[in-house]
Amino acid sequence: MTATMASAPTQRDVSQERLRALAFWVGHHQMAEPQPHIGPRPDDWHAREEAIQRRVGELELMVPELKRLAGDARPQVRTTVAKGFAMLAQAGRGPADRDVWGLLLDLSKYDTDPVVRAAAEEALDALERHGAVARTVT
């Protein structure tokens, strides 16, 4: 004779009932609250544009580091470098720097990883399409 789980006596677990009641109460009251939002609201285009410009400015400050990282042994890092330069160009802030063009040309032609070559090609296309901005010396 085998006993099944359905015929096994069950114990009433009061703590589970309390947890279910608490979960219901919290869920019920959270429905009345607005959802938390991180960052600017989608309808606040001015704040969104400021945030984008701030991030592009931070990326622009990283150009010397990006140039150094272009020689990294890891293909993911070189891909990130190329994508960073593409983002700067698309934002209208691509650096008019011979070193940048040279490293992107080298990455697009001679890199052993096809993903890096493709990312460098995209960055070059973006620089050609959106232009470059001369660096200001202060």
Q: What is the pLDDT of residues 81-112, one digit of tens each?
A: 999 999 999 999 999 889 999 999 999 999 99
Residue carrying the six token digits 């993903």: 115
The residue with greater pLDDT, 82 or 4, is 82
What residues make up the domain containing 79? 52-130
Lowest mean pLDDT among 34-43, 79-88, 120-129: 34-43
- Rounded to whole angstroms, the Cα distance separating 79 from 120 reads 7
* pLDDT number for residue 32: 56
* C-alpha pair distances (Å), 110 with each of 48, 64, 68, 85, 96: 38, 22, 17, 18, 22
List the CATH number of the domain containing 88: 1.25.10
pLDDT digits (tens, 9 = 90+) for 37-68: 666 666 777 888 888 889 999 999 999 999 99
Is the entire prediction scored with pTM above 0.75?
Answer: no
Domain contains 69: yes
At residue 18 the predicted structure's pLDDT band, cuts being 50, 70 and 90, is confident
Domain contains 4: no
Domain contains 122: yes
- pLDDT at residue 12 is higher than 60: no
Domain contains 35: no
Domain contains 59: yes
Average pLDDT, the chain: 81
10-24, 91-105, 109-123: range with highest mean pLDDT: 109-123
Domain contains 101: yes
At residue 8 the predicted structure's pLDDT band, cuts being 50, 70 and 90, is low
The stretch 16-30 carries a mean pLDDT of 64
- pLDDT at residue 70 is higher than 90: yes
Count of domains for the chain: 1
Domain contains 109: yes
Domain contains 136: no
